[in-house]
C-alpha cells in the first residue's frame, strides 16, 4: 500500500525549538493513524451506534456530550450530538464499520486522508492550547478520553484528551500546515520538541 504523504513535511523540523532553557514544555508530533472515520447516527439510534463502536474497537464509550475513550490501537469520542470520530492505528476501519453500521442506524464516512492528527504532550500542553482555543482544558472540565469540536483562526479542530497531559488534535488536511506553524509559534515560549 502507498504511504500517505504528510502535509507537514516541509515545516516539520524534528528537534528542540523555542525557549527550552528550562526544559521542554511540550512535545509536538503528527500521529498519522491508519484510519480516521466519522460515524453518525440517526435520531434515536445513538446507543446502537455506540454499541457498534464499542464492539468493533473494544472501547467503552460513556454517555454524554464529548465522552470518549482510547486504547493503544483505537480512539473514539463524540464531537457533536450522535456523531463520533473513531481512529485506528491500522487502515481499513471505514470498511469495517461500513459492514457493521446498517443504513437504518447511521452513516460511515472515511476521513483518513481528510484530517491530519497532531499530538501535543507535556506539562505545558494546556497552557499552549489555551492560547489557541477558548476551551477549558483542565482535567476536571476536559477529562481523559473526552473530545470537543472547536475552531481556531477559522480552522475547525476536533480535540481529544489522550492522556493526563496529552491532547490529540484533528484538523482539515489542507489547513494542517498553517495550523502546525501556529501551534509551534504558540509553543515557542515554553520550549518544544518536534518528534
Partner 1 sequence: MSPRRTPSGGRIDRLRTIRFTFDGTAYAGHQGDTLASALLSNGVSLFGRSFKYHRPRGVLTAGIDEPNALVTVLRGDVREPNIPATMVEIYEGLVAVSQNRFPSLAYDVSAINQLGGKFISAGFYYKTFMGPVIGPLKGTRFWMLCEKIIRRAAGLGRAGNVPDPSRYERMNAFCDVLVVGSGPAGLSAAREAATSGARVILAELDPTFGGSANWSGETIDGEPAIAWASDIVGELRDHDNVRLLKRTTVWGYYDGNTLAAIERVGDHKATPAKGAPRHRHWTIRAKNVVLASGAFERPLVFAGNDRPGVMMASAAMRYANQYGVLPGDKIVVFANNDSAYSAAATLNKAGATIVAIADLRQDVSEDCRTLARECGAELLTGHAVIATEGAKKLAGVKLAAFSIAAGVLPGNARKIEADCLIVSGGWSPTIHLASQAGARPVWDDDLQAFLPPESGNGWYGAGGFNGTFSTADAILEGFAAGRKAAGQPEVEIGTAPDIEPAALDPRPAPVFEIKANGKAFVDYQHDVTADDVRLAHLEGFVSVEHLKRYTTLGMATDQGKGSNVPGLAIMAEAVGKPIPEVGTTRFRPPYAPVSVGSLAAERFGDLKPDRLTPMHDWHLENGATMYSAGLWHRPMIYGEPGETVEQAYVREAQTTRQAAGIVDVSTLGKIAVQGPDAAEFLDRVYTNLFSTLPVGKARYGLMLREDGLVFDDGTTWRLGDNDFLMTTTTANAGKVMQHLEYFLDVVWPELRVHLTSVTDQWAGAAIGGPRAREILAACVTGTKVDNEALPFMGIVHGEIAGAPVLICRLSFSGEMAFEVYSGSGHGTHVWEALIEAGEPFGMVPYGLEALSTMRIEKGHVTGAEIDGRTSARDLHLGWMLSKKKPFIGSAMMDREGLVASGRLELVGLISLDNRPLNGGAHIVAEIDTDNPHGSLGHITAACFSPALGKYIALALVSGGKARHGKRAHVSDPLRNRFGPVEIVSHHFFDPEGKRMHG
3-state secondary structure of 84: strand
The footprint of partner 1 on residues 73-92 (CB under 8 A) is none
Distance in angstroms (rounded) separating the CA atoms of residues 11 and 14 = 9
* 18 is a site residue for partner 1 (CB under 8 A): yes
Closer CB to partner 1, 51 or 141, in the complex: 141
From the list 52-60, 71-79, 158-166, 184-192, the region that binds partner 1 by CB under 8 A is 184-192
3-state secondary structure of 49: helix
Is 58 exposed, middle or buried, given 0-12, 13-18 or 19+ CB atoms closer than 10 A? exposed
Distance in angstroms (rounded) separating the CA atoms of residues 128 and 183 = 8
Distance in angstroms (rounded) separating the CA atoms of residues 11 and 145 = 29
* 12 is a site residue for partner 1 (CB under 8 A): no
Candidates 95, 131, 143, 195: give the one binding partner 1 (CB under 8 A). 131
Rounded least distance, CB 58 to partner 1, Å? 25
* 144 is a site residue for partner 1 (CB under 8 A): no
Cell numbers linked to 48: 446502537
* 7 is a site residue for partner 1 (CB under 8 A): yes
For strands 15-17 and 106-110, give the pairing. unpaired
Rounded least distance, CB 142 to partner 1, Å? 10
Binding site for partner 1 (CB under 8 A): 1-7, 9-10, 18-19, 21, 38, 40, 42, 103-104, 106-107, 109-115, 130-131, 133-136, 138, 141, 153-155, 172-175, 177-179, 182, 185-191
Amino acid at each position: 500500500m502507498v504511504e500517505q504523504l504528510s502535509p507537514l513535511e516541509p515545516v516539520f523540523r524534528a528537534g528542540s525549538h523555542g525557549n527550552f532553557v528550562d526544559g521542554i514544555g511540550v512535545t509536538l508530533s503528527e500521529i498519522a493513524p491508519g484510519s480516521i472515520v466519522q460515524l453518525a447516527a440517526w435520531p434515536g439510534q445513538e446507543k446502537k451506534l455506540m454499541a457498534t463502536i464499542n464492539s468493533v474497537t473494544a472501547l467503552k464509550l460513556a454517555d454524554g456530550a464529548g465522552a470518549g475513550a482510547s486504547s493503544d490501537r483505537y480512539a473514539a469520542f463524540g464531537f457533536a450530538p450522535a456523531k463520533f470520530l473513531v481512529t485506528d492505528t491500522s487502515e481499513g476501519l471505514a470498511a469495517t464499520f461500513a459492514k457493521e453500521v446498517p443504513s437504518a442506524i447511521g452513516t460511515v464516512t472515511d476521513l483518513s486522508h481528510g484530517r491530519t492528527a497532531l499530538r501535543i504532550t507535556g506539562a505545558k500542553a494546556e497552557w499552549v492550547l489555551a492560547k489557541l482555543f477558548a476551551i477549558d482544558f483542565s482535567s476536571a472540565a476536559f477529562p481523559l478520553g473526552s473530545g470537543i469540536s472547536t475552531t481556531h483562526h477559522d480552522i475547525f479542530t476536533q480535540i481529544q484528551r489522550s492522556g493526563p497531559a496529552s491532547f490529540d488534535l484533528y484538523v482539515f488536511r489542507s489547513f494542517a500546515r498553517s495550523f502546525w506553524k501556529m501551534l509551534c509559534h504558540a509553543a515557542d515560549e515554553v520550549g518544544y520538541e518536534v518528534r
